[in-house]
């Protein structure tokens, strides 16, 4: 009988000795985002939740090199473009307005934008925030449009940097 208690005791001891406390890592759901994108109705107006289009919690990552914005549920976010293409999207950090981007639906768009734009590639189901649309190489006077885009880029450089910094803080930023 004593042997059985000894074997049982040693088994329990080995089980307990083999256990280690888990390191506490913050769960993704515990991370609160400060990034809020709202439907733009001509002036910054984040006044309630009904204007929210998406938040940082909806973003999987943003790649600054390719300018691709990947959502956790890409297909379910198609409504972002279709519902807001006549207005645009305003980015806020907390309740502070940071950046405005018009919305462009697809490559068949006839409008030319020489400022950052929220663009949806319908063929590949990808979202981008390029410096303008369409690519300057497709325009009749590429040098002029590139100059305008560069000037507009300089004008929003600080706001863009703040948005990128917030994406980094929320671990939503990539460079490759």
Burial of 38 per CB tally in 10 Å (0-12, 13-18, 19+): buried
Q: What is the mean pLDDT of residues 157-173?
A: 95
Q: Tokens 């460079």 identify what position? A: 175
pLDDT for 37 beyond 70: yes
pLDDT for 35 beyond 90: yes
Per-residue pLDDT tens digits for 110-128: 788 899 988 888 788 888 9
Which comes out higher in pLDDT, residue 38 or 24? Answer: 38
The predicted pLDDT at position 56 comes to 92
Whole-angstrom CA distances from 103 to 22, 25, 69 are: 45, 37, 13
The predicted pLDDT at position 165 comes to 95
Q: With bands split at pLDDT 50, 70 and 90, how would you rate the model's confidence at 45? A: low
> Cβ–Cβ contacts within 10 Å for residue 103, how many?
23
For the chain, the average pLDDT equals 77
> Cβ–Cβ contacts within 10 Å for residue 101, how many?
20
Structure tokens at 18: 């083999």
The predicted pLDDT at position 149 comes to 95
């Amino acid at each position: 009988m004593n042997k059985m208690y000894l074997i049982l005791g040693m088994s329990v001891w080995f089980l307990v000795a083999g256990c280690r406390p888990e390191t506490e890592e913050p769960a993704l759901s515990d991370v609160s985002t400060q990034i809020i994108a709202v439907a733009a109705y001509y002036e910054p107006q984040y006044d309630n939740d009904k204007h929210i289009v998406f938040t940082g919690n909806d973003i999987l990552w943003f790649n600054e090199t390719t300018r691709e914005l990947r959502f956790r549920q890409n297909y379910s976010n198609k409504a972002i473009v279709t519902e807001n293409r006549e207005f645009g999207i305003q980015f806020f950090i907390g309740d502070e307005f940071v950046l405005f981007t018009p919305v462009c639906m697809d490559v068949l768009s006839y409008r030319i934008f020489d400022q950052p734009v929220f663009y949806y590639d319908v063929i590949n189901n990808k979202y981008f925030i390029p410096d303008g649309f369409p690519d300057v190489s497709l325009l009749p006077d590429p040098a002029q449009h590139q100059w305008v885009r560069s000037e507009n880029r300089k004008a929003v450089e600080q706001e863009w940097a703040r948005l990128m910094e917030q994406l980094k803080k929320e671990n939503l930023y990539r460079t490759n």
